[in-house]
Structure 1
């Protein structure tokens, strides 16, 4: 069965996101208050269920592991029954090593797997290093920042015959998948709009890389851009991107992000119908990390497709935090009646489990990696247009011009 190695970033910064909020639920100042703490918890549970074996965790600063182990013991071991929390840490003995992921991957064997939850600018190097050694890869969104890098990962995964998925968990949200099915009967595509935001506190969490290594469009709009690409697969293709941005909050007190940091980014994307030359559609994708603090929800999100809306969750009001909106579909943290972890139906869990199942199936020679490209699963090949749109948006902002997208010699390229 596959071993697991959780990813790590290559630059030395105070915030080590590979062993932070999404992977361990630990932020450096304590337990995360968001619902985005799924990777480690999911893998510990998958080991309990017999789907994974050895676990490794990779960071830049090994000095953080004692606090992480204590956090996991209190918040996972102290909550759920029968959870084995053991893992091998990299780098060792409290050392600092931005290339610790290489040592970790070099200890694996072909058919093992890595999960890469790191700053966007590091995804390509880590994923490629693993793929070239015959290791299956699940990389968080966006897969890469450059379309050329995404194309290179497609080619490498094919060459080395490994599974490479992108962790676009929204595809497993039952509300989104139901909406996709309903859209199929709505005829030609005409208009799509999407909004996604997180509170300004995220600028403190991600100050180490916000505006330096990535932007809010890559980080958040990648969700809904992928959803629209998924919905429109076989129906329409993007042809042109124009980007606009709002600024001023992230670069001011108390956040003081680098001058290049945008607050809100909007991409306007033209889509051309595959089946009807006269039908063209328009999509607008907006993402912001300057939403009000204590706005009731960690990620505010909404999308609209030709009259179809996705709205989910419910609100809860308590004395100390006021009103908040919960998303019961992403992850369930309350234990089962027996005291075991009970979140296996959450789409945050499912998106990781689907990758594990694919890797196990390929290792058992019950399937081939190419088989998954013919499904709606977010393989590296099936998500290339998401990267094309994001990369085009970044170029449009930097160069203040529209950017075209086209297919050339079997690959997608930017103009």
Structure 2
């Protein structure tokens, strides 16, 4: 068997999801010490990852980020090093620091991209064209044309390109997906996902300017629906509606075009039956109450020809009540931050961790000649090819809002397009 070598990884993005650090200091969400950095530090400890880098825009943040990571990760977990190379260096400000970082990498290395939505395409393409494997957070791109371009580039350069749709690795979601296959033709799907208004402070730099809440949150459940319906049905038409007024008012004062809540109504058609059609409603909001006891409200309902499925992933039968803060519902299935009996990090079974580890494993297997990138398209992995309809729906929703009209989705000469 070929040798599985350690993978060099660059983290693009230095914010909440990577480090747990925001522009206002340590995050107040359920990701106080981040996900990406912590996972990759642990994978380095376990021998799967080697050199780590981190690329941001403002180099002056790195001293505070390093201090935060050392205090909350290095000093908490046994044998956990938090070292990494930084870009831009010397406290400089450089929106394209990722280019310098990638230019110093070798084909077969990897980048993990957690940056504002409007930057995903340019960073991903820059890496892919240099033979670098890519894991990009959702939404992969904002434009369907860009998603198609990344599919073509990944195939041309023979690299792994995954979209970090971690909810595919939630044991409840993956089990529900399997059970949905026994329920016959698709009929109806509805999904709700929200985060508290405090997120508008965390994301104020880009909220409403560079992306919207549908791209940011609904991408989760749209992908789950597309995953369930893969090879069963396809979307054909999208109509979008939005609520406004909270994000643009005091104390958030987001830009005038910022929506509070976005709903997409999507028509689906069966691939196997001419008479079966389905509808789906996907709603996302970042103006939920501040003290609801959960950071992300998330539930969905699926109805098929022979039965239905109801999933509530905000309330998992595990809640804690504290005098000062009241009741909180926790989700240790996503990221478990409490140390093991030996004092080591103990979150390897969390689906936030697994999503990143699956990508690292795939890239290492390709580098070792044990697999081809196309092998993962034939599985349930969220590859760039397998997530094309999620982007089609999201992009159609944005066009529907901007142009106040229904938007069609269809395949033309083997390529998905909007009408």
Common fold, TM-score beyond 0.5? yes
Report what 2:413 is aligned to: 409
- Give 1:321 deviation, angstroms: 1.1
Aligned-partner SS, 1:54: strand
- Give 1:2 deviation, angstroms: 1.8
Is the Cα–Cα contact under 8 Å of residues 35 and 331 in structure 1 kept in the other structure?
no
Report what 1:308 is aligned to: 309
Matched, 1:3 2:8: yes
- Give 1:34 deviation, angstroms: 2.2
Task: Measure the CA separation in 1 of the matches of 2:411 and 2:356.
Answer: 30
- Give 1:30 deviation, angstroms: 2.9
Q: 1:15-94 maps to which residues of 2 (within 5 A)? A: 18-36=13-31, 37-94=34-91
**TM-score, normalising length from structure 1?**
0.97
- Give me the CA root mean square deviation: 0.7
**TM-score, normalising length from structure 2?**
0.96
Deviations 1:310-349 (A, max 9, x none): 1242221111211111112101000000000000000000
Q: 1:14-413 maps to which residues of 2 (within 5 A)? A: 18-36=13-31, 37-306=34-303, 307-312=308-313, 313=316, 314-413=318-417
Is the Cα–Cα contact under 8 Å of residues 133 and 363 in structure 2 kept in the other structure?
yes
Is the Cα–Cα contact under 8 Å of residues 24 and 202 in structure 2 kept in the other structure?
no
Deviations 1:3-60 (A, max 9, x none): 11111xxxxxxxxxx2111000112333223233200000000000000100000110
Task: Measure the CA separation in 2 of the matches of 1:187 and 1:315.
Answer: 36
How many residue pairs are counted as aligned between the two chains? 405
Is the Cα–Cα contact under 8 Å of residues 41 and 81 in structure 2 kept in the other structure?
yes
Is the Cα–Cα contact under 8 Å of residues 23 and 202 in structure 2 kept in the other structure?
no
Task: Measure the CA separation in 1 of the matches of 2:208 and 2:27.
Answer: 22
Aligned-partner SS, 1:98: coil
Task: Measure the CA separation in 1 of the matches of 2:146 and 2:413.
Answer: 17
Deviations 1:191-246 (A, max 9, x none): 00000000000011101100000000000000000000000001000000000000
- Give 1:294 deviation, angstroms: 1.3
Aligned-partner SS, 1:301: strand
Aligned-partner SS, 1:3: strand
Provide runs of 4+ in structure 1 moved above 4 Å.
none
